[in-house]
């Protein structure tokens, strides 16, 4: 395992675990007993940073993590998120109002079976609520001892700076990988300047860079990737050709495509923390092998040139999801 990296006051291994896929999102809900085994296996392998959210499985994910790992709570830093609420018209309505944050936090604590969460993120900035008000509500939760540190998710550099003016922001997470470079516009620089740790979710491109897709791929029922332009034709066929070349490089280096994609991130910035998600113990064990992959400057440049914001076809999100995201986008 590589040297630990700071997330606010915490010190964690660079490879954490995103728990969303244990409550569906990429198809049918995984087997509950297998999910429990995966969580325990993650801790056994040295994972000490787990990421969940109130919206994942409408609370199922927090309940699963809290119940399964109750006896091992001291072994990991726990992060969760607020900022969505379920309404009759919208199962993912953005709501960063102080009242909603307080209500969601109390429900999160109840589901997790805890009285304190180490790191609590605002899952999305609410266009109806100034970021200062949302962070102010989270700061009150810190003062009350309900959370330890504050994080933001899918925020712009400007929003991060404004939020940081209210209360120190320990972490900012958004999607980052070879094929999603949005944070490179301004967010990464802002994180470095403010001492905010950048946490990369979907570091294998929602499975794409791990080789999860093949020509003719069709999403299973409930797989959110079916709504994302990058996974739709003709974009998918174009991107699969990039993946073929990428897999050839991985084979030359004696690692898997998933390991190569995450090794690129770990080598690119020594402060990044990754939270790949999986419902497969085999994939979990594969992911943990990433820290053994070594890349020199030549390989880094080769990968950087092969898959980037100019070579990938299709936008990151469809219109509905894109409307909830305010991170800087490439033209």
What whole-number distance in Å separates Cα of residue 232 and Cα of residue 327? 23
Catalytic residue among 26, 56, 120, 121: 56
Q: Is 56 a catalytic residue?
A: yes
Token pair in block for residue 184: 């490179």
3-state secondary structure of 48: coil
* Contact status, residue 238 vs residue 313, Cβ threshold 8 Å: yes
Nearest C-alpha neighbor of 53 from the set 79, 15, 14: 79
Token pair in block for residue 211: 């080789």
Specify whether the backbone of 145 is left (phi greater than 0), alpha (psi in -120 to 50) or beta.
left
3-state secondary structure of 235: helix
Please state the three-class secondary structure of 85-132 as a single string: ECCCCCCCEECCCHHHHHHHHHHHHHHHCCCCEEEEEECCCCCCCCHH
Give the pairing of strands 5-7 and 10-12.
antiparallel
What whole-number distance in Å separates Cα of residue 301 and Cα of residue 194? 28
Nearest C-alpha neighbor of 224 from the set 148, 146, 318, 141: 318
- Catalogue the active-site residues: 56
């Amino acid at each position: 395992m590589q040297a630990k990296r700071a997330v606010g006051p915490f010190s964690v291994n660079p490879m954490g675990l995103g728990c969303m896929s244990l409550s569906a999102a990429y198809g049918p809900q995984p087997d509950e007993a297998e999910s429990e085994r995966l969580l325990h296996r993650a801790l056994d392998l040295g994972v000490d940073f787990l990421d969940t959210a109130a919206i994942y499985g409408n609370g199922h994910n927090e309940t699963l993590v809290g119940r399964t790992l109750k006896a091992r709570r001291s072994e990991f830093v726990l992060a969760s998120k607020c900022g969505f609420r379920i309404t009759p018209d919208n199962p993912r309505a953005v709501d960063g109002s102080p009242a909603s944050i307080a209500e969601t936090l109390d429900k999160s604590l109840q589901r997790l079976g805890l009285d304190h969460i180490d790191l609590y993120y605002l899952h999305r900035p609410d266009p109806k609520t100034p970021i200062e008000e949302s962070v102010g509500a989270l700061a009150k939760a810190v003062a009350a001892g309900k959370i330890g540190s504050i994080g933001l998710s899918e925020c712009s550099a400007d929003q991060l700076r404004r939020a940081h003016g209210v209360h120190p922001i320990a972490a900012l997470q958004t999607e980052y990988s070879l094929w999603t470079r949005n944070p490179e516009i301004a967010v990464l620089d802002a994180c470095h300047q403010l001492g905010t740790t950048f946490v990369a979710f979907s570091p294998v491109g929602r499975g794409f860079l791990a080789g999860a897709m093949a020509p003719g791929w069709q999403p299973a029922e409930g797989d959110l990737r079916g709504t994302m332009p990058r996974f739709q034709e003709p974009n998918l066929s174009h991107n699969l050709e990039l993946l073929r070349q990428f897999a050839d490089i991985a084979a030359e280096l004696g690692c898997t495509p998933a390991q190569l994609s995450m090794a690129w991130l770990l080598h690119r910035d020594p402060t990044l923390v990754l939270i790949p998600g999986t419902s497969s113990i085999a994939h979990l064990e594969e992911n943990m092998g990433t820290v053994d992959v070594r890349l020199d400057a030549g390989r880094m440049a080769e990968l950087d040139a092969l898959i980037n914001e100019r070579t990938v076809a299709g936008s990151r999100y469809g219109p509905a999801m894109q409307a909830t995201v305010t991170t800087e986008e490439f033209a």
